[in-house]
Structure 1
Amino acid sequence: MLGPIVIAILAMLFVGALGFALVPSALGGGRAEQRRKAFQGDVRANRMALDADRNRDQRRKDLQRTLKQQTDALHSKKRVTLPQMLFQAGMTIKPGAFIRNSIIFGGAVTLLLVVVQVPIYLAPVFGVAAGYLLPRMWVSRKRKKYQDKFLDELPNAVEAIVRGVKTGLPLNDSIRVVAKDAKEPVKSEFGRVLDQQAFGMSMTEAVNVLLDRVPLPEVNFFVVVITVQQQAGGNLSEALGNLAKVLRNRKKMKQKIKAMSSEAKASAGIIGSLPFVVAILVSITSPTYLAPLFTTTLGHIWLGIGTVMLAAGVFIMNRMVKFDY
């Protein structure tokens, strides 16, 4: 039978062990509590990481969807009407005035051909062709030059917006700086965006007007970045900074393609001009050698066939040296 002293010692050990087991847990310092808090911290961190990944994926999907919509809309505008062509060339002339001037030009060409004794049934044909094609070719060339000047300055404008956003300026104020200090035609086009906002349009709607004016893939990229940022948020300065790098790389690629295709373009120009050069030299040395082409019916037929074949050859060579990038 155990003595009282042994029982007391065992009771003290039992109470001490029980206190050692329960008191740290009650005070919140036990291993179980630490493991529980660590587990909760890991769950919270994992949840935050999952939310961040989900938001990033959602923004990526929004960007892809918006880019697809804008690209489809841009491709649907491949066929440009006369009012759109004049608008995109930066010209203020009305379509009616342009058509009137084209008719006057065609009539003048017809009259000139009659004066130089071109057959009366061919002069109107050449006059109509000249009145319809030459003014449109001139506007198309002017439109292309306008777009090239815009693309040359666009990376600088985007980088200026990035600097403004990084310094804390709102997007509108950064665009206002570009509209004030950039070169033409970027200066006028970004000023137009601000004017559209002054009339009550949102930023998304205003930059889409910029795409209507300059329908180019590079401008489409800029519009998509602004549209997605306005709708889903995100780091605008980082997105525009990446866009500026993309624009400069595309510009370098275009210049490289232009340099590589310059030899082919020179060859096409020389081959296309050979019939006219040969005809002039033959006419100088033998003035009557080519006269049957202009004085006989058979000569008119062969002259028309030669003109059609020359036009087809020029068209084919032009497509051969024209690259899409």
Structure 2
Amino acid sequence: ASVAIGLVAREMPDPLGTEFGIVSDEITFGLSMEQAVRKLSQRVGFEGLHLLSVSLSIQAKTGGNLTGILSNLSSVLRERQKLRMKIRALSAEGRVSAWIISLFPIVIFLILQLVAPAYYGTVWGDPIILPVFLIFGTWALFGDFIMYRMVNFDF
């Protein structure tokens, strides 16, 4: 197994090759494979490596078909990636709608200023206009934040 990890370290481009080189060195210096992969998982922070670490740990303690375990793990990771991409595609309409709704008042305001500068007339001189714009702006930003949270998913 350490020979296979050494081969991965040599054949893969950086940064993955370097990380597996560190794993190979750790195994050479006496760490078990599961400990070395666990450290790799902690260094890199990729959830798939954490699942690999757990799978290797369970397989080392209970035995079983390592090839089957790794095959199932790769299938799970591929399916998760497909699901992420599908969710991203399905939420694309919501993201575009959020942008349009957020920018619409600003665009209309700018168009009115260009086409009919006197449209707002004496409103600009009114002392209440600044607090009103601040309140409306705050609510608009709050609405933008809510829309952003609705269409962006944490995985």
TM-score, length-scaled by structure 2? 0.73
Unaligned runs of 5+ in 1: 1-169
Match of 1:305 among 115, 128, 135: 135
Residues 186 and 306 from structure 1, CA distance in 2 versus in 1: closer, same or farther, beyond 3 angstroms?
Answer: farther
Match of 2:64 among 228, 234, 250: 234
Residues 301 and 184 from structure 1, CA distance in 2 versus in 1: closer, same or farther, beyond 3 angstroms?
Answer: farther
Q: Percent identity?
A: 36
**Secondary structure of 1:323's partner?**
coil
Distance 2:61 2:121 in 1: 69
1:127-138 map, 5 Å: none
Give 1:246's aligned residue.
Answer: 76
Q: Match for 2:12: what amino acid?
A: A
Give 1:72's aligned residue.
Answer: none
Whether the 8 Å CA contact 2:19–2:40 is kept in 1: the answer is yes
Distance 2:104 2:32 in 1: 56
Q: Match for 1:241: what amino acid?
A: S
Whether the 8 Å CA contact 1:283–1:290 is kept in 2: the answer is no
**Secondary structure of 2:152's partner?**
coil
Instruction: Give the length in aligned residue pairs.
Output: 154
Residues 320 and 174 from structure 1, CA distance in 2 versus in 1: closer, same or farther, beyond 3 angstroms?
Answer: same
Unaligned runs of 5+ in 2: none
1:206-245 map, 5 Å: 206-245=36-75
Q: Match for 1:254: what amino acid?
A: R
Give 2:100's aligned residue.
Answer: 270
The offset of 1:296, in angstroms, is 7.3
Distance 2:115 2:34 in 1: 66
1:154-169 map, 5 Å: none
Cα deviation, 1:207-228, whole Å, max 9, x if unaligned, reads: 2233334445433221211222
Distance 2:29 2:101 in 1: 53
Cα deviation, 1:106-136, whole Å, max 9, x if unaligned, reads: xxxxxxxxxxxxxxxxxxxxxxxxxxxxxxx
Whether the 8 Å CA contact 2:37–2:49 is kept in 1: the answer is no
**Secondary structure of 2:56's partner?**
helix
1:279 aligns with 2:109: yes
1:316 aligns with 2:146: yes
Residues 284 and 239 from structure 1, CA distance in 2 versus in 1: closer, same or farther, beyond 3 angstroms?
Answer: same
Cα deviation, 1:229-253, whole Å, max 9, x if unaligned, reads: 3334332222111111111122222
Cα deviation, 1:237-274, whole Å, max 9, x if unaligned, reads: 22111111111122222222222222122211221222
TM-score, length-scaled by structure 1? 0.40
Whether the 8 Å CA contact 1:193–1:206 is kept in 2: the answer is yes
**Secondary structure of 1:310's partner?**
helix
The offset of 1:199, in angstroms, is 6.4
The offset of 1:206, in angstroms, is 2.6
The offset of 1:304, in angstroms, is 2.7
1:60-79 map, 5 Å: none
**Secondary structure of 2:64's partner?**
coil
Residues 277 and 201 from structure 1, CA distance in 2 versus in 1: closer, same or farther, beyond 3 angstroms?
Answer: farther
Distance 2:89 2:142 in 1: 25
Q: Match for 2:3: what amino acid?
A: D
Greater Rg over alpha carbons, structure: 1
Whether the 8 Å CA contact 2:27–2:33 is kept in 1: the answer is yes
Give 1:178's aligned residue.
Answer: 8
Cα deviation, 1:144-168, whole Å, max 9, x if unaligned, reads: xxxxxxxxxxxxxxxxxxxxxxxxx
